[in-house]
Amino acid sequence: DVVAAKCGITQADLEKTAKWWGAANNVLSLWSMGINQSSEGTAKVRHIINLHLMTRQIGRPGAGPFSLTGQPNAMGGRESGGLSHLLPGYRLIKNPTHRAEIEKFWDLPAGRISPTAGKHAWEMITGLETDAVGLMWIVATNPAVSMPDLERTKAALARSPFTVYQDAYYPTETSKYAHILLPAAQWSEKTGTMTNSERIVTFCPAFRSPPGSAKADWEIFAEVGRRLGFVKQFWFKDSADVYNEFAQLSRGRPCDVTGLSHQFLKHHGPTQWPHPVGCKAQYGKRLYTDLLFHHPDKRAQFAACHSKGLAEPPDPNYPFVLTTGRLYGHWHTLTRTGRIPKIQQMHPEPFLEIHPRDAAKLQIENGEWVEVRSRRGTGRFPALVTSAINRGTVFVPMHWGELWAKDAAANTFTHPEACPDSHQPELKACAVQLFPVKFIGLTSETSKSVQLIESQR
């Protein structure tokens, strides 16, 4: 009864779900940012994994917990060490053995790699506020739209003493904060690999030349490294060299790809890891069939966490929960899709989804403008009255920034409270007020937008 009340479901439905799970031969769980972008994101995921472990719904066909990541190469970024607390091959900076392995491979003096993790994204913003960050190098992202507590984020970016902005698109909302702009090649203009959520590595050859002086990101990093004096460390001639170094660093690790190279993938096609030297199979490498896990004792580890609820729950002053997310067609902050006429026609402008009962209570008609206020900011959206959203919750798409729509950036409202493990901010829930904004009539463009969204539903 406690769980049912917290989750807003009936006890009968909760018991029915448990019986379905218990009676099923195979259970596959899939989740994405709705779970992850939470102040309890890691705990939620670990409890999904708990359910699979306790019912042995893991390591079998058609079963297991499966994360649908928010980026096409998110797994590839993690396995190569692309987070502030990671080293290549799923090694941890805080692990002295892991640091020593990388120091030896890179021919660095013992102790050269710091045992302290770098700053995560929000710590960079607060570091700008306190002058603890003296240089910002932003690559392939648009924090002036995507970060939480957006007005605070933009004020911090404006304080940066030196910002390098490296991207394939210009202008973006972030580019105006840059002191130096570095043009980067986009995916079609550079050769590399991508690893998807099934651990399948795909070779992606360039099929056009970068425009102007644009370079692949790795080329920019390597050139800066050499100019700083690290010629020996940044010896790469092409992206195949970069991948070969990573493959060697993966030896003996869960993501062992020592048997892969650009040449192998080019001739054999997409291949699933682990794929050590001598491996014959390309696919079907199911993990945990032996029920041995990546811990020293090879046993799985359960997690026990008590839910604290939302970091910013609704209250009488801010009675609605605002959640954000993506729309089919648009990609992140419109840096690319905002410039494609066909997609602009699909989603011409932002909107606010609200349940019919909530709309009636506030006397908001479909298509009328609504002002949204949180403790951090204010914005205005045309209302889309729909039963697709729960009562008490409203939805705003996260794509639009100031280049594309006035007063419509979803992260104007969100707060920076984050999961203590993943440091992902709770972008999926913040408390807001709603106020109808009565206009004499709607613009034809707004009416058209609301009709288009309704027809797509």
Task: Name the residue among 301, 346, 367, 331 with its Cα closest to residue 455.
Answer: 346
- Tracing tokens 């990609």 back to the chain, one arrives at 331
The answer on pLDDT for 414 being more than 50 is yes
> CB-side exposure of 277: number of CA atoms within 13 Å?
7
Residues 70 and 332: their CA atoms lie apart, in Å, by 10
What's the pLDDT tens digit per position in 317-352?
999 999 999 998 898 899 999 999 999 999 899 999
Q: What is the mean pLDDT of residues 90-108?
A: 96
The answer on pLDDT for 38 being more than 90 is yes
Phi then psi for residue 130, to 5 deg, are -105, 10
What pLDDT does 241 receive?
A: 98
Determine the straight-line distance between the first and last CA of the chain, rounded to whole angstroms: 34
Please name the amino acid found at residue 326: R
> What token pair was written down for 17?
């779900």
What pLDDT does 439 receive?
A: 44
Bin 392: left if φ > 0, else alpha if -120 < ψ < 50, else beta: left
Alpha helices in 8-120 (DSSP H): 11-23, 33-36, 41-54, 74-79, 96-105
Size of the chain, expressed as the number of residues it contains: 457
Helix (H, G, I), strand (E, B) or coil at 22: helix
Q: What is the mean pLDDT of the chain?
A: 93
The answer on pLDDT for 161 being more than 50 is yes
Handedness of CA 228, 231, 237, 243 (dihedral sign): negative
What share of the chain has pLDDT > 90, as a percent?
86
| Helix (H) / strand (E) containing 217 | helix 217-227
What's the pLDDT tens digit per position in 358-399?
999 999 999 999 999 999 999 999 999 999 999 999 999 999
Contact 424, 120 (CB under 8 A): no
| Helix (H) / strand (E) containing 344 | helix 341-346
Task: Name the residue among 183, 95, 85, 75 with its Cα closest to residue 139.
Answer: 183
Residues 392 and 318: their CA atoms lie apart, in Å, by 11
The answer on pLDDT for 441 being more than 50 is no
Phi then psi for residue 371, to 5 deg, are -95, 130
> What token pair was written down for 427?
């972008």
What pLDDT does 444 receive?
A: 45
Of 284 and 341, the structure prediction assigns the larger pLDDT to 341
Residues 49 and 228: their CA atoms lie apart, in Å, by 44
What pLDDT does 438 receive?
A: 78
3-state helix, strand, coil in the chain (%, to 5): 30, 15, 55
β-pair type (86-87, 430-437): unpaired
What's the pLDDT tens digit per position in 306-323?
899 999 999 999 999 999
Task: Name the residue among 65, 55, 131, 67 with its Cα closest to residue 422.
Answer: 67
Helix (H, G, I), strand (E, B) or coil at 357: helix
What pLDDT does 181 receive?
A: 98
Contact 350, 361 (CB under 8 A): no
The answer on pLDDT for 225 being more than 80 is yes
The answer on pLDDT for 457 being more than 60 is no
Contact 419, 40 (CB under 8 A): yes
Confidence of residue 289 (pLDDT cuts 50, 70, 90): very high
What pLDDT does 74 receive?
A: 86
The answer on pLDDT for 231 being more than 60 is yes
What pLDDT does 15 receive?
A: 97
Handedness of CA 340, 344, 349, 351 (dihedral sign): negative
Confidence of residue 448 (pLDDT cuts 50, 70, 90): low
Residues 255 and 275: their CA atoms lie apart, in Å, by 8
Bin 90: left if φ > 0, else alpha if -120 < ψ < 50, else beta: left
Q: What is the mean pLDDT of residues 254-261?
A: 96
Contact 429, 400 (CB under 8 A): no
What pLDDT does 440 receive?
A: 34
- Tracing tokens 């939480």 back to the chain, one arrives at 148
| Helix (H) / strand (E) containing 244 | helix 239-249
What's the pLDDT tens digit per position in 105-152?
999 999 999 999 999 999 999 999 999 999 999 999 999 999 999 999
What pLDDT does 257 receive?
A: 97
Residues 105 and 406: their CA atoms lie apart, in Å, by 51
Confidence of residue 454 (pLDDT cuts 50, 70, 90): low
What pLDDT does 442 receive?
A: 46
What share of the chain has pLDDT > 70, as a percent?
96
pTM: 0.91
All residues at 6 or more sequence positions from 224 whose CB lies less than 8 Å from its CB, including other chains: none
Please name the amino acid found at residue 172: T
The answer on pLDDT for 40 being more than 90 is yes
Radius of gyration of the chain (CA): 24
DSSP-assigned letter for residue 404 = T
What pLDDT does 117 receive?
A: 94
